[in-house]
Structure 1
Amino acid sequence: MDPQPTIDAMRIAAQTLRSGDVRAKLQAVQAAQDSLDATKAVLLAELESSKDFELDGASTLNAWVRTQLRMNAGQATTLVKNVAALRDLPLLAEAALTGQVSSAHVRVFVYGLAHVGLEPMRQFEDVFVEVARDHEPGELFEAVKHLKDKIHPEDLDAAWERGMDKEDFCVDAVPDGWHVSGFLNTVTGAKLKKVLDSVSAPRDKDDVRTGSQRRVQGLDDLLTDVLANGLPSDKGVRPHMSVFVDADTLQAAADHVQAKTEQPYLIPDPMPATVEPATLAGHGAIGPNLLMYFLCVSDFTAFLMKQGGGQRQAQILNAGTSTYQPTLLQRRSVIARQRGVCATPGCNHTHLEIHHVIFWSMGGRTDLDLLVGLCVRCHHLLHRGLLNITGNAVDGFEFTNRHRRPIRRRRNIYRRAA
């Protein structure tokens, strides 16, 4: 290896540090650093060829770099991978040794060798080196990836198919909100990106919200509109969120929030320990302030309820065999009885369809005690014979699988409240 380019870069840096302005000093130091990184890679190539790393007890070049140069595994791997690029691409090696391109640029060439191929990278090496001299690594990567897409278009379809195989989307409740995670395929992700870009655009020149604030607010506005107008009703019941709260809790929450509003500098008395917190279906307990917010923006339906007991539902809610479709009040009663979640043990889905436990075609009655709320998936499982339900809301529903083995129920949740 000719050490002169590296020596020159270091000499220029030393001279600039004595007399140049701050910008020139930083540029010279960076050029020297880039040159030194390239020199390390070239020297490592020589060490790899000679196998002299074995003299220090290292079984591989990567292991020698970790122990002798005190680098972590990631740094060592990156440096060793750069060796091949500088060895196979002489124009790149010259630019790197003279400090014209950085080790980050070299890593892009490593990507090109692995995914584009040696011959195409050599064919366009001069073009890519010129791009690296004048642009940051991200722009160089886009240029190399464009060549990859042209030479290997089949990889684009393969990537799309891989994305289809691993697509997933989860919205999980956590104590302070919801955690969204997953992976979307190319088409679905593009649709979501388009929608988010549209609803999160700044409203005007005075919109000072951050990008994250605009995206969240835009998504909230979109979901509010969809729930209000965009989804078809399910046999008379439009999809909605459900909040459940006892009368005592509602009164205590109102008193708590009012006291806090009237005396904001005083710590209000805590909520009474005897009242149960309000719950948001599918999420869990919510605080008094959020409860008051929901009351401001939601419709309110009151139910007179009684835990346990053997009393039957009022006849006004029982339609017998005169009609197949449950009434709106019956539907809301079933949803309230189940606290807004699917009745199947272990299922937390909140969009429910109303099912006759005794099939209508087999003489079943449209009585509240014989109606149960199931999510779409569990409803399909039942009609495929993979889930079975017996009993009633007074004595409790019994859930079994296709082998008629009981499915463990969640405590008290399916007991009827009259």
Structure 2
Amino acid sequence: MGQVGFGCGRWSSSTVGVGLLAGVSGTEDNDHMFDSSRVAMAQATLEGALEMPVALADGAQTRAALRTAQEMADRLEGWRAQLLNQLDETAGYADDGAPSAVAWARGELRLDDRTTSRLRAAGRTMRMLPGVGAAMAAGEIRLDHVAAFTGALRRIDHEVLVDATEGVLLPLAKQAPPADLRKAIDRVDELVRPERAVKAWEDGMDKRDIKLARAGEGFHLTGFLDVELGARLRSFLIGASSPRSQGDCEATDDSVCGGRKDLRTAAQRRADALSELLDVAAAGGVPSDRRLRPQVHVMVDADWLDHEPGAAPPELEGFGPIGRDLYGYLACTGDHTEVLTDGVTGGPTPFAAVLNVGRTRRLATAKQREAVRARQRGHCANPGCRHRIADVHHVSWWRRDGGPTDFENLVGLCRSCHMNAHAGRLEITVDGAGGFVFMRRFGASKREIDDRERLNRRRLSDYLRELGTVRVGVRPKGPTVAGPQGVTADIRSAATARAMATAPVTAPVTAPEHEAEVGDVTALRHLRRHTLTPRT
């Protein structure tokens, strides 16, 4: 490896990370040996890069160096995980008199036991899932992604997980944060083990508790809430703890939030909302946000109600997928709203025309707002934004462009993205396929924001439908459908699913009693939304 020079009075981006990454990465000549001298060379290169004065880096150099530093850190974390797993597998710790790899790392590396166990498990996962190991070594995923795969190995059959990893999970991990990967793994787990969601609900009810203990000048509140109660409390706190303006305080005679801006932290607002709940509960009312009572929303696809294989399970807003039993309980106590999101109405008129009002009114109707919320799952449409929908915006503006109040021209945005759209920093257009294209403007230039999340959701949905073709009707506490050779639940891979998908179904599927008729879902696909008002 050539020499690298560093100037004392300048910053050189070309020196950052090149030698280090080359030193750690293997080559064809060293595939069958471990060369310790290369580790020393990589260390020397890193030390040279760290000597450069960070204060002299301009904006472009800082961003480039941060990207390189992140890649280096990710790759080194993967390397460290592999080394700890190797130390554990070969009992190399014994040469230093340590009883275990965890004890050795505690004494030699000053790592706590939890960190060592996590790294060691990650190294094992990288070995059991070679594609994950290669992606980690290349800096394409992070340690948190590997940890998600580690959890998946404990729950999902290895052969099924390998197929899912190669087909959809690893490409998703390379583009999405670990939280999205964990959700996708849960979807795969729900398909191959549908009883898991039911057991999770039942276990959650058994664990529920609240503890209130005296702590210093106040009380310390801890506990565990089951899915349904936790979702209701979360919905209430979100609605009742929104920041208040001067007008809100005067209207409610509230002295807590004086001034033009609410200076309370989010945690303080939630505590005040809980106090307000206690004050008004006896009167039979609840605090509200913009005159709307807090609600819990459950989204369920008609395909799931019709037992389509691989259909997405019901999703409780603020929590995630839920099982059939909890869905039945919530559906029994909630209001039902059917929302058209895809397909046609049975004739030549597209589904959106049912909701369109054109130029007859400026603001979106209640039905349109519900449809927008259902289409976007309650989140802002701007790719990467996880905030809740606050406003419904005309893509072609009502006044400036003469845009109609039609469903395909309406997009749900959070408050910040809505303001950026009107300030000219965010440009939105219709993509012609039921979605939107977002462009971020930088002065005279603009750049499209990749909507990777929507692409990844579609890819995952397609994969699960393919995987579930021989699992039609396999639901907890419900009827099952027998496939070829009596196969009902032992699906091994997507290849098996593809081979068996064309075989005739030998038993009919009937819906549970609590499910309503959904009609001809081949002609009309929609979401059934259950809107639940929290009880107090």
Please classify the TM superposition score into its range, dividing by the shorter chain length. 0.3 to 0.5
More helix by share: 1
The structure whose RCO (Cα within 8 Å, separation 6+) is larger is 2
* Structure number with bigger Rg: 1
Please give the TM-score of this superposition, normalised by the length of structure 1.
0.48
Please give the TM-score of this superposition, normalised by the length of structure 2.
0.38
